[in-house]
Amino acid sequence: MSETLPSIGELLTATVPMVRTLRLEYLETTAERAVLALPDDPEYHNHVAGPHAGAMFTLAESASGAVVLAAFGDQLGRAVPLPVRAEIGWTKLARGGLTATAVLGRPAAEVVAELDAGTRPEFPVEVSVRRADGAETSHMTIVWTLRPNS
């Protein structure tokens, strides 16, 4: 990011042990979308030799967290982002390395306006997890909130 400030990927890698455990790679992080990769590793495989569902969930949730941090990092002095609920569906057999693309589901300015109005806003992040051939293997919707600091 800069010589003095770490990138969001560097920050999350340094502070979230599970990111390091799975060796997630931050390919792109903006206030609108984040793209992360999960390398293929037999240590993460399930009974059908593909990435374990838990590893896939963590990949998707981590991508959602990256876009949330990019979109609302300037609000951390007054609110903490927290996941509220998530729904994931697995659609195709996953094999090999995977890529998760997370997209903010509402304009950040709209969410901040609700926070400014004294409410605790909720907003969705949509995440698509894909194989190297481009096929979607799972889709997650995770709802986040900005909880005002006490």
CATH number (domain holding residue 47) = 3.10.129.10
Q: Measured between alpha carbons, how far is 86 from 57 in angstroms, rounded to an integer?
A: 10
Residue 1 resides in a domain: no
Residue 1 is predicted with a pLDDT of 47
Which are the contacts of 126, defined by CB distance < 8 A and separation ≥ 6?
102, 103, 105, 139, 140, 141
pTM: 0.93
User: In this structure, is the dihedral angle defined by the CA atoms of residues 142, 116, 33 and 42, taken in order, positive or negative?
Assistant: negative
Residue 2 resides in a domain: no
83, 144 contact by CB (below 8 A): yes
- Output phi, psi for 89, to 5 deg: -130, 135
Q: Which domain holds residue 122?
A: 8-148
What are the tens digits of pLDDT across the range 51-75?
Answer: 999 999 999 999 999 999 999 999 9
Per the structure, how many domains does the chain have?
1
Residue 3 resides in a domain: no
Residue 38 resides in a domain: yes
Q: Report which of 100, 99, 116, 114 is spatially closest to residue 144, judged by C-alpha positions.
A: 114
What are the tens digits of pLDDT across the range 85-144?
Answer: 999 999 999 999 999 999 999 999 999 999 999 999 999 999 999 999 999 999 999 999
